[in-house]
Amino acid sequence: MEDTVHIVLGPGGREELFPDMPADWPYLFDRAELDRYPDRSCTWHWHREVELFYVESGSLEYRTRAISERTVFPAGSAGFVNAGYMHMTTAFEPGTVQLLHIFRPELLADPGGRIEKAAIEPLVGERRVDVLAWYPDRPEDRQFLDLIASSFSLGGTTAEEAPAVACAAGLAEADAELQVQADAGKAPYGVAELRLRSVLSELWCHVFQRALPLFGDSSVRRLTQRDIRFQQMVEFVHEHFAEPIGVADIAAAAATSERDCYRTFEACAGKSPHRYLRDYRIEQSCRLLAFTTRPLSAVARSCGFATASRFGAVFRELLGSTPSAYRARWRELDS
């Protein structure tokens, strides 16, 4: 199981990477504690993998297609995020925890095979399906919610006692548990992968049925030109945040004017391009403070601040503590 407290973005700052995902088994079980993100928010990003998630506690929202699409998920709800969509997650309250199955769809079917052609590619390739939601107050959603909630629970100590979804509690942990069982003669080693694929396939059937009415639906709004410009400018910020860039540079990334840049960021992010750049720099500095031992001056330079004193002042203004105190608190939490 991954206990996620920040995301790793690839070159260019656009795609989220999963360094611990095995090449021959493209799956991760994540537990995201959003309290430990700056502003309890996971910035704009995308990934080739799909997400199936359950909100264990608290509440959060997903934003896709810029600000025009917001989907709220209270505790006990679940959702699906399609591959390749730019999205952002923000928790509304402290203590929000999200459990996620993150995997590449080829895990469920051989590329080019009948299942992939009939039930995988049509959904992944349908750009009208970005986020789907299931809610605890809707009786028709109960079966899916029960299934996905149980899929994150590791069951009994033997193969007979464990539910069919036990392995979804994380391949590393499940493999270790099943290896112990195998050594004791109680369970065949390797059954974790089969069980995991089984429960993910069952969940996928529900997702596919929920998405089917949206296929080719002209009433579902697709990306506007403003959304596309916003994505281009966000990608530029993520790629060049460590450099001395300004609004003119951000606007040029989308071949638009500075005035339109301001309007687009206010409409799509709810903040000015200056503030978005500042907030993203601080978010990246939090990752460096928490997971590296770089000196504060090096962290400041890596995140686009001219001096350590300027970095410290902005950091205190936004997070209410000094960078050193933030780093010390993280070490305390991790210990």
Question: What tens digit of pLDDT does each residue of 82-115 get?
Answer: 988 888 899 999 999 999 999 999 899 988 889 9
| Whether the predicted pLDDT of 333 surpasses 80 | no
Identify the pLDDT of residue 142: 97
SS3 category, 175: helix
Instruction: Give the percent of the chain with pLDDT over 70.
Output: 80
What lies within 8 Å, CB to CB, of 265 at 6+ separation is: 230, 233, 271, 272, 273, 276
Residue boundaries of the structural domains of the chain: 2-214, 225-334
Distance CA 73, CA 57 (A): 10
Cα–Cα distance list, 131 to 75, 104, 174, 200, 265 (Å):
17, 16, 29, 17, 22
Q: How confident is the model at residue 69 (pLDDT cuts 50, 70, 90)?
A: confident
CATH no. for 225-334:
1.10.10.60
Distance CA 132, CA 73 (A): 10
Q: Which CATH fold topology does 2-214 show?
A: Jelly Rolls (2.60.120)
Q: Is residue 151 within 8 Å of 168, Cβ to Cβ?
A: yes
Span 129-174, pLDDT tens digits: 889 999 999 999 999 999 999 998 743 323 333 333 344 444 444 4
Span 164-214, pLDDT tens digits: 334 444 444 444 554 455 455 454 556 888 888 999 999 999 999 999 998
Identify the pLDDT of residue 12: 53
Cα radius of gyration rounded to whole Å, the chain: 21
Question: 2-214 with 225-334: one CATH topology?
Answer: no
Span 231-286, pLDDT tens digits: 889 989 988 999 999 999 999 999 999 999 999 998 888 889 999 999 999 988 98
